[in-house]
């Protein structure tokens, strides 16, 4: 495929973009690990994440929000690496789109929990809402699996989480029928989070259509016509698609990584340099995408 022109980008262009994207996440992983190892996973003294929990009745609960966000950053990075492997020959036609959807979803949720613009109480509410949603889904899983006792144990943890929230001045969010639909706040849907935190709602909706198997998207994004009479289609991922997916992943993963860096008091100048070098190589020149400046 070397040098073959596909749309406005060649296969060589696509491979170079994938290489830059993988190089970025490798540097981000090294950066995160360096600072986590330096301070045993704790934020640096006098950083926002070090100071913010002070004065709260339960400082550990706010630290849970940081941990949740950090784990989601690692999930997003893992999905970027998975994406890169799906576009290496023999490349997949549809899996790259679903991997990038996972990158956007994890990045948006991480950014929401690590948001630099929110206050401690709002972050606490978000942490509780996310915890409740996770427990609710866990209880459902155990019931479907026929493990009623385990589901009941999770229900007890939900009740305990609600008790903690009430003690902090938050209320359970009730539906008109009295059923609990959230603690502290109703957990936003993934589409809303991607729109709010990444401004990539359109991309996320398109990626979701692929994962839900709608034929118009599968044909348009992952196939090409190889014969007109009779019509015959074959799986195909264009160089243009690979370039677009690389841009989506890069602009998504950088935001929660930056938030984590600033919250924990890490070297922002170093991380900004990593981002700038990668964005230059990817041809992302629009200043609004370089939000760290």
Query: What's the domain count of the chain?
Result: 1
Neighbours of 33 (CB within 10 A): 10
Share of the chain above pLDDT 90, in %: 79
Q: What's the rounded Cα separation, in Å, for the pair 181 and 183?
A: 7
Q: What's the rounded Cα separation, in Å, for the pair 249 and 252?
A: 5
Domain, as residue range, for 11: 5-289
Provide the angle, in degrees to the nearest 10, between the axes of the packed helices 201-211 and 190-198. Answer: 150
Q: What value does the mean pLDDT take over residues 61-67?
A: 92
Structure tokens at 217: 């998207």
SS (H, E, C) 132-162: HHHHHHHHHHHHHCCCHHHHHHHHHHHHHHH
Q: What value does the mean pLDDT take over residues 98-109?
A: 98
Alpha-carbon distance values, 188 to 51, 196, 210 (Å): 27, 10, 22
Structure tokens at 10: 């060649």
For the chain, the average pLDDT equals: 92
Structure tokens at 57: 């009745």
Structure tokens at 268: 């922002």
Specify burial of residue 110 (Cβ count, 10 A radius: 0-12, 13-18, 19+).
Answer: buried
pLDDT digits (tens, 9 = 90+) for 162-221: 999 999 999 888 888 888 899 999 999 999 999 999 999 999 999 999 999 999 999 999
Residue 13 has pLDDT above 50, yes or no: yes
Q: What pLDDT is attached to residue 3?
A: 35
């Amino acid at each position: 495929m070397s040098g073959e022109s596909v749309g406005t980008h060649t296969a060589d262009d696509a491979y170079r973009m994938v290489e830059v994207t993988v190089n970025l996440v490798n540097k981000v992983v090294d950066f995160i690990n360096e600072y986590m190892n330096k301070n045993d996973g704790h934020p640096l003294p006098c950083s926002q994440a070090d100071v913010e929990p002070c004065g709260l009745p339960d400082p550990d609960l706010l630290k849970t929000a940081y941990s949740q966000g950090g784990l989601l950053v690692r999930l997003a990075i893992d999905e970027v690496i998975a994406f890169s492997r799906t576009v290496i020959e023999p490349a997949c036609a549809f899996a790259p789109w679903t991997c990038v959807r996972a990158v956007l979803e994890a990045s948006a949720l991480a950014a929401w929990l690590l948001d630099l613009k929110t206050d401690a109480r709002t972050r606490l509410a978000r942490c509780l809402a996310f915890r409740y949603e996770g427990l609710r889904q866990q209880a459902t899983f155990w019931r479907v699996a026929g493990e009623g006792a385990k589901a009941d144990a999770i229900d007890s943890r939900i009740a305990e989480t609600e008790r903690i929230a009430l003690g902090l001045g938050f209320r359970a969010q009730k539906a008109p029928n009295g059923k609990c639909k959230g603690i502290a706040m109703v957990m936003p849907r993934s589409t809303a989070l991607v729109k709010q935190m990444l401004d990539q709602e359109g991309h996320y909706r398109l990626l979701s259509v692929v994962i839900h198997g709608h034929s118009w998207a599968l044909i348009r994004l992952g196939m090409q016509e190889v014969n007109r009479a009779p019509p015959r289609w074959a799986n195909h991922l264009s160089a243009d698609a690979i370039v677009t997916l690389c841009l989506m992943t890069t602009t998504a993963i950088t935001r929660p990584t930056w938030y984590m860096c600033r919250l924990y008091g890490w070297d922002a100048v170093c991380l900004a340099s990593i981002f700038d070098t990668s964005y230059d190589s990817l041809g992302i020149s629009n200043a609004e995408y370089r939000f760290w400046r």
